[in-house]
Structure 1
């Protein structure tokens, strides 16, 4: 294809922006949640973990439906949007971020939780004997030891957001420059029989998916060697 049209570049930029914002937010809120899930002895810990993991098995349209209600003018999203003069968070970029954070959460929280669990108790016990506060032990001991988990979480969270379709279509629709991400663009090109554009984007996403899976495999392999 002779160059990318402006509309394709627009979708690419919007998708990368959405995936980047979602990944950063998930790493910020997912880290303390993963730490709590890894360390808590409460009987309802696994109930919380199950809620976090629900997007793994829920059809995107189901989650999208409930988010559409919550983000709409009659839900909490309408009240939040009214703070800056809007009517709804549905069919907005901000709404896409909310939906993407919820939908990609298990792909970020679970690898970090697994890394914290694999770390064991011994490093924190040693830190405690050296009079390190819990906060200091977390940042100087736990986080560095769990770095492979953070890398995996960041890669998976970013990649999963890139590939979203059903949820995005439900709560974002297809608004060029606002909610028309790559997965929606491919769908549009197929409907319009614009096969060259659809083939180029689909092929690019296949290559991207291959790179993501390979990256995660290499991170896991390196982590296994480090533990050996």
Structure 2
């Protein structure tokens, strides 16, 4: 890549890998969860949605600190991971993936949840009248009708993971080729007074983020980005 040194190129590759893995796993986890939440009627629903939405308002360093504690070898999670792999979960790519899934969780959940809530229930009634069970109704009717919210969920998760800083720094540190993502690389360049490289990287991130948002708004149509915190 023109104007980028080897360490920056490695950071770009690692960031894209992290964003892709995180977004795919999030879609697999969040899609059925968002559907169940959209159908669930309970007085506890606002509290559950608030818990899942905490990363939207919680300072990244706070979340990163607690994840760092949870990923340490002294914690139950970290201890199990060490016994399984022989390596620590903190300051590893796998740790970054887990942290990114938690940090970007609401960015995948809210568009899907909003799309599912707004889905006309008559489609479900017709599907059931034709003999389709709940699973096949979800696969053949719900998901095709909610392509736009799903695309928005994936896109926002991808973009948000690329822009992570606080959480990544807390649980991953700054290990080149292992945990040094773009945001960390940019911070390092500014600290080293390498402003020309920092300008190049910042402009690339700005253009990418803007272009992705334009595409997401175009595909999402009148529903915007499907941001819905309703407790319906």
Same fold (TM over 0.5): yes
Corresponding residue number in structure 1 for 2:157 = 157
Q: Quick one: distance in 2 between partners of 1:28 and 1:81?
A: 26
Q: Separation in 2 of the partners of 1:58 and 1:116?
A: 26
**Structure 1 counterpart SS, 2:85:** coil
Structure 1 residue 222: deviation in Å? 6.1
Contact kept? 2:23, 2:157, Cα under 8 Å: yes
**Post-superposition offset of 1:216:** 1.9
Mapped to 1, the partners of 2:11 and 2:164 lie a distance apart of 13
Using the TM superposition, name which of 37-46 and 129-138 deviates more.
37-46
1:176 aligns with 2:176: yes
Measure how far apart 1:47 and its partner are: 1.6
How many equivalent pairs are there? 223
Whether 1:30 aligns to 2:30 is yes
Where does residue 193 of structure 2 map in the other structure? 193
Q: TM-score, normalised by structure 2?
A: 0.93
Map of 1:78 onto structure 2: 79
Highest RCO, 1 vs 2 (Cα 8 Å, sep ≥ 6)? 2
Q: How does 1:26-65 map to 2 (within 5 A)?
A: 26-65=26-65
Matched residues in 1 for 2:69 and 2:82: separation? 14
Matched residue, 1:104: 104
Q: How far 1:223 moved relative to its partner?
A: 5.7
Gaps of 5+ in 1: none
* Cα deviation 1:128-183 (Å, max 9, x = unaligned): 11111110100000010111000000110000000000110011000000000000
TM-score (norm 1): 0.94
Matches of 2:37 and 2:2 in 1, distance apart?
50
Q: Give how far 1:2 is off.
A: 5.3
Q: Unpaired segments of 5 or more residues in structure 2?
A: 225-232
C-alpha RMSD over aligned residues: 1.4
> In the alignment, is residue 219 of structure 1 matched against residue 223 of structure 2?
no
Q: CA deviation at 1:4?
A: 2.0
Asked if the contact 2:3–2:197 (Cα under 8 Å) also holds between the matched residues in 1, the reply is: no
**Partner secondary structure for residue 83 of structure 1:** helix
